[in-house]
A = this chain, B = another copy of it.
């Protein structure tokens, strides 16, 4: 028995049963340990961003921490972007990163890098195992760290000699530390604030999960307040039977309008609403300067308890939630004509089955699609919480692994799809029920719009060459086929409707290139 085997046993004993992996040579003993433990589901991704994005969405949909297996230094670095998204989503992820044998690090070798500094750029918790004997305990503490504060990024660095040297035993992760809670005075004050006409309860994190969000509806019924969340909240319940939660607009001017005249803004699990970027001459914050802002409970505190305490304080804990308090289902007809984001949304509203998990990296096409699916069948909506593009396809993998009985629908802009297109292969290998709607506008449309938002002159030659992805156009049917995923290109809504129905009805992945 060696250190790597004690780690594998510790993960399993602690309830970590899925490992998204892209290993390299320094991780071979851990691979071998997993090989002897078929109860760990190992899922290969062909790029590290696919690994970390999958682990993020797996947590968002299952509430469970998955392990990742990443190669030392530059391997881990390739996973940082989607760990950044996971961090912003409050997802718990446990990274196992290899490293050189400790005695080998005094020499200059190709792959030597500062593994700890790389980890710390994005991890809440970083530890390098000292030796084989410490690996089981380190692993258990890493799992605990990943489960702490509602979900954190924990990275255990496993030097090759700690992996291969003799060790024995296993450890079991202790429960995470109790979450801090606001005082009863703070609960009472927030409850009073929410009774002001026009007040907003601004939510994010675990309180948005379907199993908790009805508490927010009770608070809403008792006070008349509006429920809102961030534009890029990690997971939003939507459609039939979901609470009526308004997403703050993306554009700063629109977001300011959303919050105009709000007397009381109570934040529960949410950060203060600030613009995605700053713009010259515009404010950073979206809130109305006249609003009184109450930071009731941060994302790292006991958000679910706080929401329940708020409803108890308001005498609303026993309030019946009826269909009239929730989003209704409104049947939608299939649209015809040219392909537009709004028409795609309408088709989704007509065809998406109940329980669909929508992974939204549609970027500029997202708004109209979201608007049109507001009253579709019940679904969850996952966002690019950290703005690091290349989230969508990996997240679709993770969501599908977490929810094998649900349909995953990836709304995917073409420019951002290119960052992690390798995830298509994992969908094919794992036969995941993912339908990818690839929105092909042949460029970074968001950049074209932001140049306008910033008041910059229209793009000339050099700028067009940096925002247009044309000359040549990407052929997404070929790209999907190359990864082993069947695909079709459609150029009008009749074609889209047919393709969507086919995609949603089949086992395994399917990609629809919708030419905008």
Contact = CB atoms under 8 A, between A and B. Distances in A.
Interface of A: 21, 23-26, 28-29, 31-32, 34-38, 40, 42-44, 46-47, 49, 69, 73-75, 77-78, 80-82, 84-85, 88, 100-101, 103-104, 106-111, 113-114, 117-118, 120-122, 160-161, 164, 232, 271-272, 274-278, 280, 284-285, 384-388, 390, 415, 418-419, 421-422, 425, 428-429, 446-447, 450-451, 454, 456-457, 459-463, 465-467, 469, 471-484
A361 B32 CA distance: 26
23 contacts: A28-B451, A29-B454, A31-B447, A31-B466, A42-B462, A46-B418, A47-B418, A47-B419, A73-B84, A75-B81, A77-B122, A78-B81, A78-B419, A104-B278, A108-B271, A109-B277, A109-B387, A121-B121, A160-B277, A421-B422, A475-B483, A478-B482, A480-B482
Q: Give how many copies assemble into the complex.
A: 2
B473 A484 contact: yes
B447 A388 contact: no
A35 B463 contact: yes
Given A32-B457, A73-B84, 5 more contacts: A25-B446, A109-B276, A110-B385, A160-B278, A429-B471
Contacts of A84: 73-74, 77, 113
A275 B104 contact: yes
Given A110-B385, A422-B418, A35 B80 contact: no
A274 B112 CA distance: 11
A280 B132 CA distance: 13
Contacts of A384: 110
B460 A36 contact: yes
Contacts of A160: 277-278
Most chain B beta-carbon neighbours within 10 Å: one of A121, A271, A385: A121
A228 B326 CA distance: 74
Contacts of A103: 278, 284
